[in-house]
A and B are shown apart, each in its own frame.
Chain A
Amino acid sequence: MLLDTTSPVLLLMLAAPTTSLAWHGYQLAKTFQRQQRPFWVFFYQDAVLTAHSQRWQPADLPNLTALWQQLANEQKIEFPVCVSAALQRGIVDADNAFRHQMSATTLTLANGFRLTGLGELSDSMHHAKHVLQF
């Protein structure tokens, strides 16, 4: 099936940022941006670790989190991240730190990302012409 270039594509990110698959997902998002094709992204399962602000990367290797942040900045959006998957992996924003009585000094959600529920993923699935899973 050929990819419809005018309808939004949902990039469903499931793979951990330590995998090559996660890089393929980012590269495709970047390509869609260059070609001005509409696309959505949703981070779920181990891919939510991409949104961890304390993920260290050696200086001589590209930082996937920083690249997604740059893309978010260029697109003027925040990428949605599943809140329950994120909280279970130590990724916390201020609202959820308060809600779950966690220390507000350990906020670990990186800029350029926001925590949201699976309802938003369902909505994207409804409206996306294609879903590509990474």
Chain B
Amino acid sequence: MKNVLIVLTQSENSSLTNNEMVQALLVFASFGIRISVLFEDGALNLLNQSQHSSHLQHRDAGLPLFKSVRDMVASFEFYDIDSLFIHTHQQHAALLKNCSYTLTPIVFNRDFVSQFDHVIYN
């Protein structure tokens, strides 16, 4: 089984590409690839469970601009994605104040990266 690390850096509603990367990692997990996720910088926002799922909406239609990435993150457990990492230096970030996920603080170095077959950065 391949072991793949996905590094997420973008916050909710930042762009379609953020949504697409999380959709892809869910597909990878469905196809038997072991997925780990490292949240950094703006992506810490995806772990803040006190915020509502969608914020930016079309003024007239009342529809969200993007499907919620935060909701997809909440579904990780159903795909057996339970290796969630954050950087040690960001573990006290305010965005994590209302986070109930089990996160593992790591130092991003050669030893950490070498446990994965592939690393994809978004």
The interface of chain A, by Cβ under 8 A from chain B, is 12, 14, 44-46, 82, 84-85, 88, 118-119, 121-123, 125-126, 128, 130-131, 133
Cβ–Cβ < 8 Å partners of B21 in chain A: 45
B118 at the interface (CB under 8 A from A): yes
By beta carbon, the residue of chain A nearest B21 is A45
Residues of A within 8 A of B118 (CB): 125, 128, 130-131
B2 lies within 8 A of A118 (CB): no
Q: Give B contacts to A, CB under 8 Å.
A: 2, 4, 16-17, 20-21, 23-24, 27-28, 30-33, 118, 120-122
The distance from the CB of A19 to the nearest CB of chain B, in whole angstroms, is 12
- Residue from A85, A118, A128, A133 within 8 A of B121 (CB atoms): A133
Whether B33 pairs with A126 at a CB distance below 8 angstroms is yes
Q: In the bound complex, do residue A125 and residue B121 qualify as a contact, i.e. CB atoms below 8 Å apart?
A: no
Beyond A12-B120, A131-B120, A133-B121, whether A44 also contacts B33 by CB under 8 A is no
Cα-based distance from A133 to B27 in the complex (angstroms):
18
Given A44-B20, A122-B30, 7 additional A-B pairs, CB 8 A: A12-B120, A45-B20, A45-B21, A118-B27, A125-B2, A125-B33, A126-B2
Q: How far apart are the CA atoms of A46 and B16 in the complex, in Å? A: 9
Q: Which residues from chain B contact A82 at a C-beta distance below 8 Å?
A: 20
Which partner residue on chain B sits nearest A12 by CB separation? B120
Kindly list chain B residues whose C-beta atoms are within 8 Å of the C-beta of A12.
Answer: 120
CA distance A122 to B31 in the complex (A): 7
Are A85 and B20 within 8 A (Cβ)? yes
Please name 5 pairs of A and B residues whose Cβ atoms are closer than 8 Å in the assembled complex, sorted by A. Answer: A12-B120, A14-B122, A125-B33, A126-B2, A133-B120
Q: How far is the CB of A17 from chain B (nearest CB, A)?
A: 14
CA distance in complex: A119, B27 (Å): 7
Complex Cα distance, B21 from A98, in Å, reads: 27
A109 to B63, CA, bound (A): 29
Chain B residues with Cβ below 8 Å from A119 are: 27, 31
Contact B20 A122, beta carbon cutoff 8 Å: no
- Contact partners of A121 in chain B: CB under 8 A: 24, 27-28
